[in-house]
Structure 1
Amino acid sequence: MADDHTHVQDFFSVRAADWDSRFPDDGPAYAAAVGALRLRPGDAVLDAGCGTGRALPHLRTAVGPGGTVLGADLTPAMLNAAARAGRGASGALLLADVAQLPLRAGTLDAVFAAGLISHLARPERDLRELARVVRPGGRLSLFHPIGRAALAARHGRDISDDDLRAEPRLVPLLARAGWDLDSYTDKDDRFLVLAVRAR
């Protein structure tokens, strides 16, 4: 586990300073994905693996001043970049592992996770931990601002059914972790999976 954490931290630490400038046009995609989560004023939401906090302002807008917004990430450099960008004003920034969240069971209405799933050390267990902190009927959004095929092409690879985000793999994984699939979208301009915490 420590090796998995070190790998993730090493990968993101060296990229934190210029992360936002590498993806300057993602704002509308984040806003649309947050909108699809159907948050209500006063809700409590976690941005799991929040990185530089690009979703936090959108989440704050959705839940309003009376809601709770938390951004958790394993990499201090990413949280520092979020703070420098002023995104701590939209939500509390937590240095935390999504596999062991410092939250009581059932305290959240939703979890938003952008680009997280491919970095989970133990996907089923980690998704179960996200389910633990969400109330029954609460929602999960697994998001990426481009789809699987476009992402594979960006990295010079072919799309593969072995990809954890492939629908035949992801849907049963979510079910075993306590989530019921609501919708699965994989288009060039977005990957968005919405699920509901099983009752």
Structure 2
Amino acid sequence: MNADHTRVREFFAPRADGWDTRFPDDAPAFAAAVAELGLRLGDAVLDAGCGTGRALPALREAVGPGGTVLGADLTPEMLHAAARAGRDRSAALALADVARLPLRAASLDAAFAAGLVAHLPDPGDGLRELARVVRPDGWLALFHPIGRAALAARQGREITSDDLRAETNLGPLLKSAGWHLVSYADEDARFLALAVRRSPTA
């Protein structure tokens, strides 16, 4: 396990048990973001960096019993918390690095990622790996239940020009990783960027 992985696990592991109680009112925001992803019955979708799995029930509802829902996270304690909450009934959970997924190329219709980009050691690598496993014309949702300004205020910091989630930074980052940014919303109550997987020949 490299140093970046160690830092991520050290941050999330002690917070896993109380994670959902810290943010008890986020479920509607997760469900609304999943709805905008436009999943169809029977689709295959990944929750990348799923944490305690708050998006998994909405993803399961969107793809139906015939669809495939996977939840991948780097921190075992977060996956254990997801299972204790019963969210393993909505998805298969896997301990996995989002930058090295144990999935075939183009095997998914979409990927959902809540709060992921800021925790990736190399965001470009992580987004390229998501592009690898999502089929051409498939979708990616980058989500957070509050916007950048509200999150910065919660954390007691200022937003800087190098913020990866700023539209001027995120669009080129996604493009270099094989995605096209289609819509961008950064509001107090949510952050949601939707991107489509570009064809390899595009």
Q: TM-score, normalised by structure 1?
A: 0.99
Q: Residue 174 of structure 1 aligns with which residue? A: 174
Alpha-carbon deviations, 1:159-181, whole Å to 9, x = none? 22211101111100000000001
Match of 2:185 in 1: 185
Match of 1:140 in 2: 140
Q: Does 1:2 align with 2:2?
A: yes
AA matched with 1:39: L
How far off is 1:196 after superposition? Answer: 0.1
**Partner SS state of residue 72, structure 2:** strand
Aligned to 2:28: 28
Separation in 1 of the partners of 2:91 and 2:161? 36
Could you report, residue by residue, the CA deviation over 1:110-167 in whole angstroms, capped at 9, with x for unpaired residues?
0000000100111111100000000000000000000000000001111222111011
Distance 2:19 2:97 in 1: 20
What code does the residue aligned with 1:111 have?
A
For 1:93, the equivalent position in structure 2 comes to 93
Q: Give secondary structure in 1 for the equivalent of 2:61.
A: helix
- Distance in structure 1 (CA, Å) of the matches to 2:186 and 2:19: 23
RMSD: 0.7
Query: Counterparts of 2:61 and 2:156 in 1: how far apart (Å)?
Result: 37
The C-alpha deviation readout for 1:50-70, integer Å capped at 9, x for no partner, is: 000000000000000000000
What is aligned with 1:126?
126
1:33-182 matched pairs, under 5 angstroms: 33-182=33-182
CA shift, 1:72, in A, is 0.1
Describe the SS at the equivalent of 1:157: coil
Letter in 2 for 1:127: L
Alpha-carbon distance in structure 2 between the residues aligned to 1:137 and 1:42: 16
Aligned partners of 2:3, 2:105: CA distance in 1, in Å? 27
SS in 1 for 2:42: coil
- Residue 30 of structure 1: how far off its partner (Å): 0.2
1:158 and 1:128 map into 2 onto residues whose CA distance is 29
How far off its partner does 1:12 sit? 0.3
Q: Give the distance between the partners of 2:15 and 2:158, measured in 1 at CA.
A: 24
Give the 4+ runs in structure 1 shifted more than 3 A.
none
**Unpaired segments of 5 or more residues in structure 1?**
none
Shift of 1:26: 0.1
Tell me which residue corresponds to 2:17: 17
Amino acid at match of 2:34: V
Task: Note the alpha carbon deviations across 1:2-52, whole angstroms, 9 max, x for none.
Answer: 000000001000000000000000000000000000000000000000000
Instruction: Name the aligned partner's letter for residue 50 of structure 2.
Output: C
Q: Post-superposition shift, 1:190?
A: 0.4
Question: Secondary structure, in 3 states, of the residue corresponding to 2:54?
Answer: coil
